[in-house]
Amino acid sequence: MSDNAVSLPSAPGNIKPDRKKYRETFFGGIYTTNPVTVQVLGICIFLAVTIRVQNSIVMGLALIVVLTGTNLFVSMLRAYIPRRIRMIVEVAIIATFVIILDQLLRAFYWDMSKQLGPYVALIITNCIVMGRAEAFAIQNPPLISMVDGAANGIGYLWILVAVALVRELIGSGTILGFTILSTSWYTKNILFLLAPGAFITGGLLIWVINAINLSLKKEKAK
């Protein structure tokens, strides 16, 4: 059966990637090719959860688990997945994995599942999961694919938390639910709880990160 599978030209087969590749993959997900600031993926959920720091942390952790898991399964099956229907197969794997995770959370971690609410099911449609399966896991061996998944999850987590800190502080006057700006003198800025708040904060963050990268590059060139 595996003879029929169309292997991708870049599939390295059994060649073990060296340490450098692992390091590059890891830091790529976290910073250099960060899912939000560089790939601009997973923005729909980014808009929704960054209202609260707590929601962002929970979502980020959930995504780390999902990305690592789906990348593993897609990578293990990569030799057998017919090229023509590979995206449908990826979606099926992702959806099955996420629904099972959701059911288990509901059964054994009720409080956490209540906090996540509708977001868990939304992970299925998070472009990062599909993006990593398609861009990485389908052409790389399982172990490094898991590293790629986890790294992109961590990259997503820290961006979510960074943006949520700003949005929750300005929008609700709190951080992690603790009041920082008292309502006695601070008027909450509702704009930051709505989608534009996320675009403004996220846009500024991307600008800052790009500026830092540019100055680093210039320094290297000197």
Footprint of other proteins (CB under 8 A): 1, 4-6, 48-49, 51-52, 55, 80-82, 84-85, 88-89, 92-93, 95-96, 99-100, 103-104, 106-108, 110, 114, 117-118, 168, 171-172, 188, 190, 193-194
Q: Which is nearer to other proteins, 199 or 207 (CB)?
A: 199
Nearest distance in Å: CB 55, other proteins? 6
Q: Helix, strand, or coil here: 178?
A: strand
Nearest distance in Å: CB 176, other proteins? 13
Contact 128, 15 (CB under 8 A): no
List alpha helices for the chain, DSSP H.
Answer: 19-27, 43-49, 53-76, 86-108, 110-116, 119-122, 127-135, 142-172, 195-221
DSSP code at position 112: H
Q: Which is nearer to other proteins, 100 or 212 (CB)?
A: 100
Nearest distance in Å: CB 85, other proteins? 6
Nearest distance in Å: CB 60, other proteins? 15
H or E element at residue 179: strand 178-179
